[in-house]
């Protein structure tokens, strides 16, 4: 209680600096949370896109479907293989377009036996398609994931940029808190000297500054949550209206993100307050 009381008094002793730090931290946390949620959502989109990367392998007439299926399954870059006999492929085509049923009775089945191959990684799509084309039983290989591959390359660059921005925002908040705590120590120089002279413990002197840093970052984190979570929900809802298939974060995911931000705020506030007071206490009060 003593540390919290002293921390609150310190915040009101220098309101301009406290408000500046609080505003800076709140803006940083808001941007950090929005960027983090967007990055998390981007990972969901990438995961969904990666799951749709498939290679269609059309076999030559007379090829042994079971043998070629086992051969492809043994390839190092293959995650899954689904064999579709030509009769099954025709049934799927007719179920999708019943108007073709009359024509199917007039001509032989023109569809080839097909393999649907799922690569282990997106990077394996092109080399795997090349290897599949080289198989003697393969007539043609198709994969419609060229746009998806380009999207994944762009997403990797966006992820790196977002992580760098998050790191910069964290450091900005951390050093802002340290600056405010240093100012608190300067303002209480005489009081700290008296406390040391009467034998106050180091913990009693340091704790109010640690609590001050924590109160600043906790308040900033709560403000950021009040802005960023509704903001994300609104943006996600608007995107869903245009792209219904787009995966978005669930309420449980948002709760996890909020908890992570509060933990980060606790860490930045307490560690920033402790390091700043520890580094400058001897210089100012001793």
Q: Which domains, and CATH codes, for the chain? A: 2-49+149-285 (no CATH), 54-144 (3.30.70.3040)
Separation between Cα atoms, residue 133 and residue 55, nearest integer Å: 11
**What φ, ψ does residue 154 adopt, rounded to 5°?**
-65, -40
Strand duo 114-119 + 138-142: pairing: unpaired
Tokens of 192: 């700290």
Within its chain, how far is the Cα of 35 from the centroid? 8
Quote the pLDDT of residue 103.
47
3-class secondary-structure state, position 267: helix
pLDDT tens for the chain, 286 residues: list them: 655 565 556 566 667 777 777 888 888 889 889 988 988 888 777 776 666 677 888 888 888 888 888 888 888 888 888 888 877 766 665 565 554 454 444 446 667 888 888 888 777 788 888 888 888 888 888 876 666 667 677 777 788 888 888 888 888 888 887 777 777 666 666 666 655 565 555 656 677 777 778 888 888 899 999 999 999 888 888 877 776 777 788 888 899 999 999 999 888 888 887 877 776 666 544 4
CB proximity list for 19: less than 8 A, separation 6 or greater: none
Quote the pLDDT of residue 104.
44
Separation between Cα atoms, residue 84 and residue 79, nearest integer Å: 17
Quote the pLDDT of residue 259.
94
Yes or no: say if 125 and 143 are a contact pair by the CB < 8 Å rule: yes
Tens of pLDDT, residue by residue over 70-114, are 888 888 888 888 888 877 766 665 565 554 454 444 446 667 888
Quote the pLDDT of residue 262.
93
Quote the pLDDT of residue 142.
82
């Amino acid at each position: 209680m003593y540390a919290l009381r002293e921390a609150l008094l310190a915040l009101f002793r220098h309101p301009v600096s406290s408000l500046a730090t609080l505003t800076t931290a709140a803006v940083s946390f808001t941007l950090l949370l929005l960027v983090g949620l967007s990055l998390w959502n981007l990972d969901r989109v990438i995961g969904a896109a990666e799951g749709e990367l498939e290679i269609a392998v059309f076999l030559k007439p007379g090829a042994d479907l079971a043998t070629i299926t086992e051969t492809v399954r043994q390839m190092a870059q293959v995650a899954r293989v689904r064999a579709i006999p030509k009769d099954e492929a025709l049934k799927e085509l007719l179920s999708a377009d019943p108007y073709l049923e009359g024509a199917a009775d007039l001509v032989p089945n023109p569809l080839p036996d097909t393999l649907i191959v799922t690569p282990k990684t997106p990077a394996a799509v092109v080399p795997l398609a090349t290897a599949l084309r080289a198989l003697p039983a393969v007539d043609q290989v198709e994969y419609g994931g060229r746009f998806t591959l380009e999207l994944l390359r762009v997403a990797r660059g966006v992820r790196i940029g977002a992580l760098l921005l998050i790191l910069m925002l964290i450091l900005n908040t951390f050093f802002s808190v340290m600056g405010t705590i240093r100012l608190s120590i300067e303002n209480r120089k005489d009081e700290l000297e008296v406390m040391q002279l009467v034998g106050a413990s180091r913990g009693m002197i340091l704790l109010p500054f640690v609590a001050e840093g924590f109160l600043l970052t906790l308040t900033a984190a709560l403000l950021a949550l009040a802005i960023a979570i509704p903001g994300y929900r609104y943006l996600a809802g608007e995107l869903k209206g245009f792209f219904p298939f787009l995966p978005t974060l669930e309420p449980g995911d948002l709760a996890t993100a909020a908890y992570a931000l509060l933990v980060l705020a606790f860490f930045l506030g307490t560690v920033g307050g402790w390091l700043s007071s520890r580094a400058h206490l001897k210089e100012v009060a001793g």
